[in-house]
Amino acid sequence: MEKKRILTGDRPTGRLHIGHYFGSLKNRVKMQNEGIYDPFILIADVQALTDNFNNPEKVRKNVREVAMDYLSVGIDPEKTTIYIQSLVPETAELTVFYANLVTIARLERNPTVKTEIAQKRDIFGESVTYGFLGYPVSQAADITAFNGELVPVGEDQLPLIEQCREIVRKFNSIYGEVLKEPEAVLSNTKRIKGLDGNEKMGKSLGNAIYLSDPEDEVNRKVMSAVTDPNRIKKDDLGNPDICMVYYYHKLFSTDEECKTVCSECKEGKRGCVACKKQLAQNINKELNPIREKRKYYEEHPEIVDKILKEGTAKAREEAKRTMKKVKKAMMLDYFED
């Protein structure tokens, strides 16, 4: 049976956190192990530069950090191709071709782009760069250069996949049926909130627990988590539904533990400190094997580099085959036999 090609990826702007873990990483491991998919994972360093153009050192450093996070959670390079975006120049070339098929007005209407521009006013002010506005075009090239059939995304990313599908249809209508139109696979996991209750978890907000955080750092962060503001004393009756500690218990604790936490909180039988200590213990229990794997790769960076080199080489060969078909269709195959 022919395996279906899956395309996923992350921007190397920082280490990966538990939001990534529950939001995509666990699902990627599951899908690679099912044996019916051919997964490609992109480390999108070029895309990361669209809003980190003045900090290339940060992006470069985090390429390896993200790769180690992948390997530490169970991404297997024998089953999944991990590659670096900037080392596959064919995708940049394809981006240029696609740029002629998309209007500025269409990019500005993309709901995901509009939201992200609003979130990054501190970086761009009123002058959004061409690179950032056009990153959906680059993303379309990333997907189609590798014949991506399935693209697992959250609901907020659906407009980007639809933009890619529009580009494919426009290209094929002009040049013939060359490209595959990808399908979005909607994730059934919701975005994980930050420790402060913010809908978004991230480094800039200081509300994230990273997969590589040591135990004492996890303990410190959990102790800072937002709880029921109306609960002042230990024996006050609490409302676990507005407590971030209980929110995380539902991710890291057993059903029985969650029932106990919920009932004891409502009855004023459990203090927030004890509840946080139990949560930190459970989080560390989940992260310990991930930390151990990561420690191995930190001590053997040459293995990480080898995996990235081999994955990128495989990806580039795939992209070259696609570009050969694209250039032939566009009558740009000069001097080809």
What length does the chain have?
337
What whole-number distance in Å separates Cα of residue 161 and Cα of residue 39? 17
Nearest to 211, CA basis, from 306, 284, 314: 284
Q: pLDDT tens digits, residue range 152-203?
A: 988 888 889 999 999 999 999 999 999 999 999 887 767 789 998 888 888 7
Q: Note the pLDDT of residue 337.
A: 65
pLDDT band at 96 (very low <50, low <70, confident <90, very high): very high
Is the dihedral angle over the CA atoms 99, 102, 104, 110 positive or is it negative?
negative
Transcribe 96-151 into DSSP letters.
Answer: HHHHTTS-HHHHHH-HHHHHHHHHTHHHHTT---HHHHTHHHHHHHHHHTTT--EE
Strand (E) or helix (H) holding 325: helix 301-329
List the domains of the chain with CATH numbers: 4-192+302-329 (3.40.50.620), 213-295 (1.10.240.10)
Beta-strand relationship, 81-84 and 150-153: unpaired
Q: pLDDT tens digits, residue range 39-75?
A: 999 999 999 998 898 999 999 999 999 999 999 999 9
pTM of the full predicted structure?
0.91
Q: Which residue has the tokens 């895309």?
A: 47
What whole-number distance in Å separates Cα of residue 177 and Cα of residue 92? 21
